[in-house]
Amino acid sequence: MAEEHYLELSENPVQFEHASSVNNVFFDEANKQVFAVRSGGATGVVVKGPDDKSSVAFRMDDKGEVKCIKFSIGNKILAVQRTSKSVDFINFIPDYPHTEFSQECKTKNANILGFCWTNWNEVVFITDQGIEFYQVFPDKRSLKLLKSQSINVNWYQYCPETAVILLSTTVQGNILQPFAFRNGTMSKMSKFEIELPVVPKPAKLSLSERDIAMATIYGQLYVMYLKHHSRTANSPSAEVVLYHLSREGSCKKSHVLKLNTTGKFALNIVDNLVVVHHQSSQTSLIFDIKLKEPDCALNIHQPVLPARSIHPYRIPLSGPAAVPSQPPVPCQLYSSSWSVFQPDIIISASEGYLWYLQVKLPPTVNLLQDKGKLMDFLLRRRECKMVILSVCAQILEVGEKGSLPVVATVFDKLNQVYKDYLEAEQSYTQAMESGPSRGSAAQKRPVRTQAVIDQSDMYTHVLSSFTERKGVSHKFIIAVLMEYIRSLNQFQITVQHYLYELVIKTLVQHNLFYMLHQFLQYHVLSDSKPLACLLLSLESTYPPAHQLSLDMLKRLSTANDEIIEVLLSKQQVLGALRFIRSVGGHDNASARKFLDAAQQTGDQMLFYTVFRSFQQRNQRLRGSPAFNPGEHCEEHVAHFKQLFGEQALMKPSTV
């Protein structure tokens, strides 16, 4: 069987001038931009971003080697670091002065390690002696210090998604101090310690910047530590330790991902999955921190799937040297020239490519045998709907032996998500109807993700085609349909009538009328007007269906009009008349409707009885047997006279 690659590089990568033709390549994680810098005379800069809007080319004065270069959000202001003492700024806002202005760090004898934009006009300098938070005034070409903090810094990391900067402090570097930035404010978060592997004395380990990454997983910020175990340790394999970083409260060690091997690793986050690339084996592992391992402590995770390499990628040849007949060149995966950035970016500076790493869900289906676990995994992924529906169809294809409990588990997992969405939608609707309450935040409309598989999805993509499959026993088909209905009922989700119709049609197709009768008698199939109408249509095949339908309509107290229509259509005019009296609707009934139906039967005595009945009603209600002009019964009065003579008409009774 061909190896199934569940990871791939994006089809349309961002292309930039590769490292051999420029002096330096920089990547800005906040704007997802690559800066290719070429020096000599003037410094030429080509910026490539995820789209054309974020791509730009410009020249600037050559004032020394560029150490770091980044745009503020929206390409408004460019910041360039050339020395360890200051950062230069250039306005890119239209109609603003384009001249450079500079800002030295305030702390004496400090060296700038780097800088981060936290807003379009707010920047943080990280020095070896602390951090300095500035507001930039592009019109005045100046900066104002908002806040600073003194602390010895070895290195730093920045998470642009949450605007949190992580500083490595102390000699071993394993005491980490986070700072959060929001709307012009800087707040110090709780510092925490990374547990380093134990090594024999006198050796001492220090925490390397390469082994730390920050990323958001399932909406929560984590610090990921790649822990390489020492050879003397009992557990020789490496692991990734996740520390949950909350804005309030302490940072806690929350998950351990077991890599079961050693070597050089790199981390990405794709679709809330932690992807660990292993260079020597040229494979990647994926972990889902929401999947609980039955045999392990709650926070210890094994890879979800066996290790696989990223899908082979071919670089198309372009430019003047390209010949149409030349095949694309295979890209060297897991190359030592690759740089990995959070959350899902891989850059090959030597080839001049920036890719987004992507998860392919279809190959995971055959790699994960436990269908319950597979569903848990798929339901948390972005593009999951069609894959989930294909898994449902596949489970039903496998056959009947022992698969019903699996089918039940899958249905329950799907309907749990479906129910959660329906409840959130209902809660939102109620909140909107009652208006905003004091002190409570405005409620957001729940987002319908692809994980919400509703009844129409199941009917259209799975169940309707399943009931028509040849070679499957009708018992299994009915069992599966009833299992889905059971699951919906368990989660108190109203079953749509078309699912009941599918059950009835399947039963009729296989002449299982006794079962149909039982299902209706014991209310396994819930009463509804469409269902009653379907039963009526089955009368020619199964005569008792007529009475079953009427009984159902009677139970639906709102269905009186439908019952009368049904009885009249069957020319059971007296039955309809008796029914309308029994429910107290005779006084408001349309005489014309009943007289039309009686006349169409051709039965003169029936017409007489119905006509006389309505005359008596008129006499009782209005003191006269005559019909009002609004009742449009002139035609029927004329027909009555023609049949029985004018003297047969009731005369108004006098008191």
- 488, 562: one domain: no
Structure tokens at 653: 């009774």
Nearest 5°: the CA angle 231, 232, 235 is 75
Under 8 Å between Cβ of 586 and 570 = no
**pLDDT class for 321, splitting at 50, 70, 90?**
very low
- Beta pairing partners, 356: 345
Cα–Cα distances in angstroms (integers) from residue 82 to residues 102, 343, 589, in the given order = 11, 28, 92
Under 8 Å between Cβ of 18 and 347 = no
- 374, 491: one domain: yes
**pLDDT class for 442, splitting at 50, 70, 90?**
low
Q: Is 458 part of a structural domain of the chain?
A: yes
Alpha helices for 585-646 (secondary structure H): 591-601, 604-622, 634-644
The amino acid present at 437, given as its one-letter code, is S
Please name the helix (run of DSSP H) or strand (run of DSSP E) that holds residue 133, with its range, or none.
strand 130-137
Peptide bond into 343 cis (omega under 30): yes
- 479, 563: one domain: no
**Strands of the sheet with 42-48, listed across from one edge:** 24-28, 33-38, 42-48, 56-61
Helix (H, G, I), strand (E, B) or coil at 4: coil
User: Strands 130-137 and 122-127, how do they pair?
Assistant: antiparallel
Q: Is 378 part of a structural domain of the chain?
A: yes
- pLDDT of 214 above 90: yes
Q: Is 237 part of a structural domain of the chain?
A: no
Q: Is 130 part of a structural domain of the chain?
A: no
DSSP letters along 345-392, please? EEEETTTTEEEEEEE-STTHHHH---HHHHHHHHHTSTT-HHHHHHHH
Helix (H) and strand (E) counts for the chain?
16, 32
The amino acid present at 21, given as its one-letter code, is S
Structure tokens at 9: 């590089």
Helix (H, G, I), strand (E, B) or coil at 563: helix
pLDDT of residue 218: 94
Distance CA 480, CA 490 (A): 15
Helix (H, G, I), strand (E, B) or coil at 104: strand
Rg (CA), the chain: 38
- pLDDT of 77 above 80: yes
- 485, 576: one domain: no
- 365, 470: one domain: yes
The chain-wide mean pLDDT, for the chain, equals 84
- 478, 386: one domain: yes
Helix (H, G, I), strand (E, B) or coil at 212: strand
- Give the mean pLDDT of 114-142: 92
Helix (H, G, I), strand (E, B) or coil at 264: coil
DSSP state of 600: H
- pLDDT of 648 above 50: yes
Q: Is 46 part of a structural domain of the chain?
A: no
- Give the mean pLDDT of 306-319: 78
- pLDDT of 653 above 80: no
Structure tokens at 629: 């002009």
pLDDT of residue 477: 87
Q: Which of 495, 527, 549 is the last residue of a domain?
A: 495
Crossing angle of the two packed helices 560-569 and 591-601, in degrees rounded to 10: 20
Peptide bond into 202 cis (omega under 30): yes
User: Strands 300-301 and 265-270, how do they pair?
Assistant: unpaired
- 369, 483: one domain: yes
pLDDT of residue 567: 75
Structure tokens at 508: 């009729």
Under 8 Å between Cβ of 37 and 44 = yes
SS3 content of the chain, % helix, strand, coil (to 5): 30, 25, 40
Under 8 Å between Cβ of 395 and 471 = no
DSSP state of 319: S
- 565, 471: one domain: no
pLDDT of residue 654: 57
Residues 488-530 pLDDT 10s:
989 999 888 888 888 888 888 888 888 888 887 777 777 877 7
- 457, 385: one domain: yes
**pLDDT class for 157, splitting at 50, 70, 90?**
very high
- pLDDT of 389 above 90: yes
Q: What is the maximum alpha-carbon separation in the chain?
A: 126
- pLDDT of 317 above 70: no
- pLDDT of 43 above 90: no
Distance CA 360, CA 288 (A): 15
Residues 419-435 pLDDT 10s:
999 988 888 888 887 77
User: What secondary structure, in 3-state letters, does 459-527 show?
Assistant: HHHHHHHHHCCCCCCHHHHHHHHHHHHHHHHHCCCCCCHHHHHHHHHHHHHCCCHHHHHHHHHCCCCCC
Out of 87-101, 324-338, 369-383, the most confident range is: 369-383
Helix (H, G, I), strand (E, B) or coil at 365: helix
Taking residue 635's Cβ as centre, other Cβ atoms within 10 Å add up to: 12
Q: Is 483 part of a structural domain of the chain?
A: yes
Q: Nearest to residue 372, comparing CAs of 411, 343, 398?
A: 411
- pLDDT of 288 above 90: yes
Distance CA 398, CA 411 (A): 16
Q: Which of 473, 495, 517 is the last residue of a domain?
A: 495
Crossing angle of the two packed helices 634-644 and 604-622, in degrees rounded to 10: 120
Residues of the chain above pLDDT 90, percent: 26
Structure tokens at 206: 């220090």
Residues 181-210 pLDDT 10s:
988 899 999 898 888 887 766 667 788 888
Q: How many residues does the chain have?
A: 655
Under 8 Å between Cβ of 7 and 40 = no
Distance CA 608, CA 648 (A): 10
- pLDDT of 285 above 70: yes
Q: Is 32 part of a structural domain of the chain?
A: no
- Which of the residue ranges 68-72, 220-224, 301-305, 397-401 would you say has the lowest mean pLDDT? 397-401
Q: How many domains, the chain? A: 2
Distance CA 76, CA 595 (A): 81
- Give the mean pLDDT of 273-278: 94
- Which of the residue ranges 147-151, 438-442, 615-619 would you say has the lowest mean pLDDT? 438-442
- Give the mean pLDDT of 75-91: 90
pLDDT of residue 293: 67
Q: Is 416 part of a structural domain of the chain?
A: yes
Long-range contacts of 137-142 (CB under 8 A, 24+ apart): 138/76, 138/77, 138/89, 138/91, 138/93, 138/96, 139/96, 141/89, 141/91, 141/97, 141/99, 141/101, 142/101
DSSP letters along 571-598, please? T-HHHHHHHHHHTT-GGGS-HHHHHHHH
- pLDDT of 138 above 50: yes
- 478, 587: one domain: no
**pLDDT class for 145, splitting at 50, 70, 90?**
very high
Residues 391-419 pLDDT 10s:
998 888 866 555 888 899 999 999 999 99
Taking residue 651's Cβ as centre, other Cβ atoms within 10 Å add up to: 9
pLDDT of residue 200: 65
Residues 447-490 pLDDT 10s:
888 889 999 999 999 998 888 888 778 888 888 998 999 999 89
**pLDDT class for 318, splitting at 50, 70, 90?**
low
Domain enclosing residue 389, as ranges: 361-431+449-495
Q: Which residues of 587-596 are buried (b: 16+ CB within 10 A; e: fewer)?
A: eebebbebbe
